[in-house]
Amino acid sequence: MRTPVTVGVVGLGQTGLRIARVFDDLPQADLRWLCDTSTEAQLRVRRPFPGLRTTSSLDDLLGDEELDAVVIATPIGIRAELAKRALEAEKHVFTERPLALNGEDADRLVQLAEKADRRLLVEEASLFDPALRKLRELVELERLGEIFYVTATCSDVSDLMRASKSVVWNLGGHAVALLLFLLGDEPVEVSARGDAFVSTHSPDVAFCHLRFATGIVAHLQLSRLDRQRTSRVTVVGSTRMAVYDELDPSGALQIDQTRIVAEDGVIRVRVGDIVTTRAVGEEPMRLQCEHFVAAVRAPRDPASAYRAATVVNTLEALTRSLDEVGAPTPVRGALRRDARVVHLASRRP
């Protein structure tokens, strides 16, 4: 039996505590440290986590030679710097999203993790949702046919309370991460337009267009004014269409089997059934924490870190396009593609 991976959590807000509870419950992990600059936060966790060491200084965790990994769940402004210090101290890092506030910092963290041979993962529990994984499987096995385009809708009125950045950064990061995961690809060019109806300094609504290396296009609709909270992805293929609703508690994935075919120069619609499949599995956050623990003990696989950096670079490009009223904008560092993507690109006209 392998020795459990020792973990410390920095940042004891809602996300940090949620992650701490999961690691504390995992037999493959050993939660040892809880860190927050707030003395009140430290006192608050002593009852649910008796016996754990608490501190206000990251240095205490980095100086612990028996500590394998650091979870960073702090405000975004200091997240990249803390991740950098942890990697330089040869700790594995599991950080809240986004990875950084700009693409250069995100890329530097990925390079630092590679150089130190340490794992760098970004919290994105939705990527471990069994329904989303099923959809990715359908895409990879070409069960939807050739993928024409993807649409993603993300709205959350509560984002008005944290509107320090544009809706592209606050809601778009999650949507972009879903697209990168589903398509196994990354955008090479984007454009975006937005409007501010309530906020005074940043858009409340944005409509984004992304063109991927394989030729697939995606459209994002982001809103913090829509009163109905949504997180939905629709994949339109040549033979089937699939809809993933992240907020559906049933875990259902809808597949529309209606086919659109061209016969003798005539386009025909062959109506098919709408099939609902249910993907059952463990809680996504637990699955991601288990994945992180396994990654610490496994040979390096940089795919997750590259994807996290690509999300940041994509958000930067979308922001530049917003500033330029929808001008097409290239995505920095958009040529890091795995063999599967190159193979797919070679098959497209």
Q: Residues 210-244: pLDDT tens digits? A: 999 888 999 999 999 999 999 999 999 988 999 99
Task: Report whether 219 contacts 193 (CB < 8 A).
Answer: no
Domain's final residue, options 123, 143, 170: 123
Q: What is the pLDDT of residue 343?
A: 34
Instruction: Kindly state whether residues 259 and 275 are assigned to the same domain.
Output: yes
What CATH code is carried by the domain that includes residue 78? 3.40.50.720
Q: What is the pLDDT of residue 330?
A: 95
- Secondary structure element (H or E) that encloses residue 266, with its range: strand 266-270
Same domain, 163 and 114: no
CA distance 286 to 129: 10
Which pLDDT belongs to residue 141?
A: 93
> Where is the domain boundary, 71, 104, 123?
123
The pLDDT of 306-324, averaged and rounded, is: 94
Assess whether 137 and 74 both reside in one domain: no
Same domain? 163 vs 264: yes
11 and 115 fall within a common domain: yes
pLDDT for the residue 334: 54
Cα–Cα distance between 134 and 61 in angstroms, integer?
Answer: 38
For residues 127-142, give the mean pLDDT: 93
Q: Quote the domain boundaries for residue 167.
A: 128-281+309-346
Domains: count for the chain: 2
Residue 106 lies in a domain: yes
Q: Does a structural domain hold residue 299?
A: no
Has this prediction a pTM greater than 0.75?
A: yes
Instruction: Return mean pLDDT, the chain.
Output: 88
Q: How far apart are CA 320 and CA 330, in angstroms?
A: 10
Same domain, 112 and 185: no
- Does pLDDT of 336 surpass 60? no
Residues 112, 144 within the same domain: no
- Does some domain include residue 292? no
Banded pLDDT at 346 (limits 50, 70, 90)? very low
Q: What pLDDT, on the 0 to 100 scale, is given for residue 274? A: 75
Q: Is residue 91 part of a domain?
A: yes
- The 3-state DSSP class for residue 341 equals helix
What's the pLDDT band for 297 if we cut at 50, 70, 90?
A: confident
With respect to residue 294, please indicate whether it lies within any of the assigned structural domains: no
With a pLDDT cut of 70, the percent of the chain lying above it is 92
Segment 173-182, tens digit of pLDDT: 999 999 999 9
Residue 256 domain-assigned (yes or no):
yes
**Residue 337 forms part of a structural domain:** yes
pLDDT tens-digit readout, 25-79: 999 999 999 999 999 999 999 889 998 999 999 999 999 999 999 999 998 889 9
Residues 220, 171, single domain; the answer is yes
| Domain harbouring 271, CATH code | 3.30.360.10
- Asked, for residue 11, whether it belongs to a domain, the answer is yes
Same domain, yes or no: 132 and 87? no
Task: Name the band, by pLDDT with cuts 50, 70 and 90, for residue 347.
Answer: very low
Among 89, 123, 157, identify where a domain stops.
Answer: 123
pLDDT average, residue stretch 10-36: 95
Residues 197, 135, single domain; the answer is yes
3-state secondary structure 9-72: EECCCHHHHHHHHHHHHCCCEEEEEEECCCHHHHHHCCCCCCCCEEECCHHHHHCCCCCCEEEE
What is the model's pLDDT at position 85? 97
Domain shared by 138 and 118, yes or no: no
- The residue type found at 77 is G
Residues 110 and 136 in one domain: no
